[in-house]
Structure 1
Amino acid sequence: MSIEIAGAAGGAGGSSIWSLLLPFVLMFAVFYFLLIRPQQKKSKTRNSMLSALKKNDKIVTIGGLHGTIVEITDDTVVLRVNDVTKLTFDRSAISHVSSSSEESASA
């Protein structure tokens, strides 16, 4: 008789561990789908945009400066702001591409 009681108590203890872990598992799932996964997707699209930059793309920097890419290296980008002024920026300082050289060639 005492064996059955000990077995029943062990089964109840096992289910209480899962009932304690379930909220933490659910919180991790919520954080993953609401915070981690969208940030990873945003980072992936930004990295693909930065790697696809090419000469004559019209871009906007994170500071709001509009310019056209004149030279591009692995780390830096030289922008033509007007006919005379050329500025050098880090590649990571580019916010987005306003129009690519392919779009301007077809227009």
Structure 2
Amino acid sequence: MFISPAYAQAAEGSPSTLMSLLPLVLMFVVLYFVMIRPQMKRQKEHKAMVEALAKGDEVVTAGGLLGKVSKVGDPYIAVELANGVEVQMQRTAVVQVLPKGTVQ
């Protein structure tokens, strides 16, 4: 009641709406190239590695176990940890394929 209504006025030479959105757009572009794109690349490489698993490959699992792949199924693989000790696990639990001869 005591306050008069204020009206926004466009000042002379004010930046356009596009220019005010430019920093926001630039942040999303940087975010894409710094975080999203490398993560998608890692996922694609991991998927290719998991699909290429074969009997006899030496692997490291997400739990830190080292062993040789003894059986390959569709969703699961069997990993031989020691002489006669086999563990069945999901293929996606494999984090890394080691060079031949690493696991003794």
Q: Which residue of 1 aligns with 2:30?
A: 30
Identical pairs, percent: 37
Number of paired residues? 90
Q: Does 1:60 align with 2:43?
A: no
Quote the RMSD (CA, aligned, Å): 1.7
TM normalised by structure 1 equals: 0.77
Moved over 4 A (4+): none
TM normalised by structure 2 equals: 0.79
Aligned-partner Cα distance in 1 for 2:84–2:39: 39
SS of the aligned residue for 2:83 comes to coil
Q: Does 1:17 align with 2:22?
A: no
Gaps of 5+ in 1: 1-8
Aligned-partner Cα distance in 2 for 1:51–1:94: 11
Gaps of 5+ in 2: 1-9
Deviation per residue, 1:35-92 (Å, 9 max, x gap): 0001011111111111110000000101110110011111101011111211101111
The 5 A counterparts of 1:49-88 are 49-88=49-88
